[in-house]
Amino acid sequence: MARRADLVGLTVLALLTVRASHPYELHRLIVDTHKDYVTGLPRSLYHAVERLTADELIAPVETVREGRRPERTVYEITDEGRRELATRLRTLLETPGPDRRTFTAAVSLVGVLPPADALQSLRTRAATLEGMLAGADGHLGAMRESGLPDLLMIELDYERTLTAAELDWVRALVARLESGRLDWSSTTDPELLAKVLGER
């Protein structure tokens, strides 16, 4: 994606794949599940809902009122919203970028993708990270050979270390997926969502 990733909108789309909800419910779920990459709540959430509605990625389905509370509009994800969500998620999973929060968000929501799609995207990311690591090693080697002191290369060494650690983690996640040790079914379970929200 050329533009900055809309992590709030991405999260709203992902949560609405589980069940239709109103913004207050979505806010509670984001907080209760520690989606800390989502910032600016609650304003950012309401803005995201407006944008997604205007883009026809979500649609209002009903208005509810509980007791004396104000009316709340319940939204559901559209078919176009599901396609957009899958595209955005695959892009964030496959493409390393300078903002590491985007990958945190993508792995936080990866359960909405079919396992095969997630696995392919993570393999693509691993291959890209391998290339980045080889490039960093070559760059550092050339700088050392030129006689530059290590202190002038310390930030490159730091970035190389972060890339290597991410690659190790992604490879381990791929191995868990390939072996079937990572349970995929529970992430889209409406009963789990109700439990998190404290409903019965």
CATH number of residue 11's parent domain: 1.10.10.10
Question: What percent of the chain has pLDDT above 70?
Answer: 90
Judgement on whether residues 35 and 130 belong to the same structural domain of the protein: no
Quote the pLDDT of residue 151: 84
Quote the pLDDT of residue 144: 87
Alpha helices in 115-153 (DSSP H): 115-145
Question: In which domain, by residue range, is 139 found?
Answer: 113-179
What's the rounded mean pLDDT across residues 129-134? Answer: 96
In total, how many domains does the chain have?
2
Q: pLDDT tens digits, residue range 65-84?
A: 776 777 899 999 999 999 99
Residue-averaged pLDDT of the chain: 88
What's the rounded mean pLDDT across residues 24-44? Answer: 91
pLDDT surpassing 80 at residue 131: yes
Quote the pLDDT of residue 134: 95
Quote the pLDDT of residue 193: 52
Contact between 34 and 23 (Cβ < 8 Å): no
In a domain, 23, yes or no: yes
Judgement on whether residues 11 and 80 belong to the same structural domain of the protein: yes
What's the rounded mean pLDDT across residues 29-36? Answer: 90
Quote the pLDDT of residue 147: 86
Judgement on whether residues 192 and 164 belong to the same structural domain of the protein: no
Judgement on whether residues 159 and 172 belong to the same structural domain of the protein: yes
pLDDT surpassing 90 at residue 188: no
pLDDT surpassing 90 at residue 162: yes
- Predicted TM-score (pTM) of this structure: 0.83
pLDDT surpassing 60 at residue 1: no
- For residues 4 and 169, the model is more confident at 169
Residue 74 burial (CB < 10 Å; 0-12/13-18/19+)? middle
* Phi-psi region at 34: left, alpha or beta (left = phi > 0; alpha = psi -120 to 50): left
Quote the pLDDT of residue 67: 67
The strand pairing partners of 72, in sequence order, are 64
In a domain, 1, yes or no: no
Judgement on whether residues 189 and 154 belong to the same structural domain of the protein: no
> Is the bond preceding 70 in cis, omega lying within 30 degrees of 0?
no
Judgement on whether residues 175 and 97 belong to the same structural domain of the protein: no
- For residues 9 and 195, the model is more confident at 9
